[in-house]
A and B are shown apart, each in its own frame.
Chain A
Amino acid sequence: MRNILYLIQKEFRQIFRLKANLVIIFVMPFIQLVILGFAITTDVKNISTMYVDMDRSQLSRKIIRTVSSGEFFTIKGSTDQTEAAVKKMDSGKIKLAIVIPQHFENNVLSGETPEIQAIVDGVDGNTAGIALGYLTQIFKQLQRNMTMAIPSAQPRHIIETQTRMLYNPNLDSVYNIVPGIMVMLLTMITVFLASINIVREKEIGTLEQLLVTPIKGRELIVGKIIPFAIMGFVMLNVGMLAAGLIFGIWMKGNLLLLYVISVLFMLSTLGVGIFISTIATNQQQAMFYAWFFSIFAILLSGFFIPIENMPPWVQIVTYLDPLKYFMDVIRGIYLKGSGVSDLVPEIISLSLYGSTMLSLAIIRFHKRMS
């Protein structure tokens, strides 16, 4: 026990000696939150739009006015020819062109149902779909006002949806991102720093020096794990504080529950970190492996892309990802105020995962050392 305390003390002295480490713990959460929180908006707005008005009537002008009001579309000029608009789209200047044909107003008045053409840059399918959705909504509203003004022989029946968005009524992307960043921060600290740290001691040869002292291998591992777990823990709190201060997002659920589950989570990522340190022979390799792990683990955690969207075989792979469970937990506690009873399967999976991963890594580490 005394030995472990000494080791922890040594580790912390080393950590604090390098200023960069302190920057990583206390500044990185802020930077990541600011960059990710502001940059990741899956909202689609300010779509660069050009209109081709071949009709030049009162009605066509009214349509363009309606489209350009609101924050969805930014009008980037007009032209008389469809080809000119397509050229602009080729060079990436616009994403949408609205073509109103000749005699449009006259045809509407005589009941001929003319067509408005919406030319959409389909490269980004998601944005294209959403842009078309906005346009359709605006046009539906216009059509509704127009038909309601004309008396009709047949009665109209319309179903309307009353939509309620729970937990995040304004659909701010930040709400989804903030808990995700906590997961990322914890992963970075525990996987990257832990694996590179151990490999570095191997490279310099100080690990061997420790092994010839009366410290047992078990104690050595615990002494390595605890400082990084504490660092991760501090970083989590800095991150939560930053999220509250910058975005005003505070946790809804129980703080203690989050603490307990993050310890469970760190067991598995520390396990991965130690495991990497046993297969890597130099720091560059350790970094590549750590990077390799995080880049896939983050993708499969459902941070950016909801897991339900993925093809079935990828969904099965996500069950191997400890980040997936923790992501569900932290989003639940943070946004919905979920309690223990809501998170039973995740807690069980994380405990199982953590204990197996860590013991496997430790066994391998022992074998390597002896």
Chain B
Amino acid sequence: MKSLLLSIIKKEFFHILRDPQTLLIIIIMPIAMIFLYGYAITLEMRNIPTIVSDLSKTPESRLFVKKLVSSNFFEVELNHIDESSIDKVFRRREAKCIIVIPKDYSTGIVDSPVTYLQVIIDASDPNGAKLISNYVNNIVNQSNLEMNLGNSAPFTIQPRFLYNPDLKSANYFVPGLVAVILLLISALLTSLAIVREKEKGTMEQVLVSPINPIQIIIGKLIPYLILGFIDGLIILFAGVFWFNVPVNGSLLLLLLMMLLYIFNGLSLGLLISTIAQTQQLAMMMALMGTMLPTFLLSGFMFPIESMPILFQWLSKIIPASHFVQIIRGIMLKGVGIPELISQISFLTLLSLVLIIVSIKKFRVNLDA
């Protein structure tokens, strides 16, 4: 019994080692991904190309422009823009934001209670547009505060950011990335494991031997579990030591959870492998079944609360969304099993279901 299982594991290991090009991709891809994604994903905007049309040309208006410049959010170009050329500026992407300081700006500040400032934003990128509008408003609020020192506000707000006080993007994205990369890699790894042998006909040879389906499935899983775990360790290492994301909770728990999660992804891939008839189909299924949902519905980049209710439900059955909460919880919040019990039990349950279904499916295929 034992030695049979061992020989399947050995065989699968040899198969992996025989194709060094694939092995190299499997190791290098996650590393490249965590570095490039870790750096490129920042939702804070800097150097927003901005044209300021200063019709007032007074010390007051120049003071406002100076405030814009010193905020570092805007790359200001002073230029006169009339109404008809606004469209052209945006179409040529010469600026994302145009601020028009009206002619009566400085007289307005002295004489009337309210002075208006025109802000025109290229909203073809809506998220960026919202941020730009926020930045402008912050600067305007600051100016208003300085102009009305005598009239203090009735109360103030004191913000306190928990878990990530500097609001570092990396702290948010790196744990999420670990979740995304691990699922993609592990599902892709096993999605071909059985269908490949089906295509080549070697599966029939295995079938005539006295090995039972459970042993085949487990034997195929273990080598990839080790490979996936190595991948996981590498990217976790990069996240902690390169991007300085803290591990506030228990490292042991984190590693255990990672193992559970990789097992989950591998079982998903195995299931695909037992269903698909050709390698090409298996790959497409693995890509479609894992890439889109994990990227979009895991909460790794886009907040789940803002999605339509149907998608919020969908996100609940995706393993990545649970692991994202687990890894963020352990790394950033420093929480343990009690806080994460529902996510952990879901992942365990899902793994069991997936593996049982793939063994069943595999058996049916055998009889047919």
Contact = CB atoms under 8 A, between A and B. Distances in A.
A90 B335 contact: yes
Nearest to A87: B339
Interface in A108-139: 108, 113-130, 132-133, 135-137, 139
B225 interface: no
A156 to B, nearest CB: 6
A342 B92 contact: yes
A250 interface: no
Interface in B28-86: 29, 32-33, 36-37, 39-49, 86
Nearest to B130: A171
A332 B123 CA distance: 12
B119 A162 contact: yes
B307 to A, nearest CB: 6
A167 B123 contact: yes
B3 interface: no
B126 A310 contact: no
Contact of B46 (A107, A304, A308): A308
A108 B125 CA distance: 41
A158 B115 contact: yes
Contacts of A285: 19, 21-22, 25
B265 to A, nearest CB: 15
Given A175-B126, A308-B46, A39 B333 contact: no
Interface stretch (B233-241, B275-283, B344-352): B275-283
A155 B21 CA distance: 74
B22 A128 contact: no
A160 B126 contact: no
A353 B250 CA distance: 49
B205 interface: no
Contacts of A284: 19, 22, 192, 196, 279, 283
Interface stretch (A2-10, A41-49, A206-214, A226-234): A41-49
Contacts of B335: 90-91
Nearest to A93: B339
A299 B40 contact: yes
Residues of A in contact with B, size category = 35 or more
A357 to B, nearest CB: 20
A291 B287 contact: yes
A195 to B, nearest CB: 11
Interface residues of B, number: 108
A32 to B, nearest CB: 7
B256 interface: no
B36 A299 contact: yes
Contacts of A122: 161-165, 167
A108 B296 CA distance: 45
A350 to B, nearest CB: 16
Interface in B120-153: 120-130, 133-134, 136-137, 140-141, 143-144, 147-148, 150-153
Nearest to B314: A39
B7 interface: no
Interface in B272-295: 279-281, 283-284, 287, 292
A165 B283 contact: no
B159 A132 contact: yes
A339 B88 CA distance: 10
Interface string B292-311: 10001100011101111001
B90 A336 contact: yes
Interface stretch (B168-176, B206-214, B216-224, B355-363): B168-176
A305 B172 CA distance: 15
Interface string B171-196: 11000000000000000100010001
A147 interface: yes
A24 B283 CA distance: 13
B113 interface: yes
B47 A308 contact: yes
Contacts of A89: 162
A309 B44 contact: yes
A164 B148 contact: no
A305 B43 contact: yes
Nearest to B333: A90
A250 B108 CA distance: 43
B201 interface: no
B365 interface: no
Nearest to A124: B172
B113 A310 contact: no
Nearest to B117: A161
A128 to B, nearest CB: 6
A171 B126 contact: yes
A164 B120 contact: yes
B332 interface: yes
A104 B156 CA distance: 11
Given A35-B296, A123-B163, A154-B151, A310 B329 contact: no
17 contacts: A41-B303, A42-B127, A42-B130, A47-B305, A122-B162, A122-B165, A125-B43, A137-B137, A139-B155, A139-B157, A155-B113, A159-B140, A161-B136, A162-B117, A165-B129, A282-B19, A288-B26
Interface of B: 19, 21-22, 25-26, 29, 32-33, 36-37, 39-49, 86-88, 90-93, 96, 109-110, 112-130, 133-134, 136-137, 140-141, 143-144, 147-148, 150-165, 167-169, 171-172, 188, 192, 196, 279-281, 283-284, 287, 292, 296-297, 301-303, 305-308, 311, 325, 328-329, 332-333, 335, 339
Nearest 4 CB-CB pairings of A with B: A122-B161, A125-B167, A165-B123, A122-B164
Given A43-B306, A159-B115, 7 more contacts: A41-B303, A91-B339, A126-B43, A129-B167, A133-B134, A159-B116, A308-B96
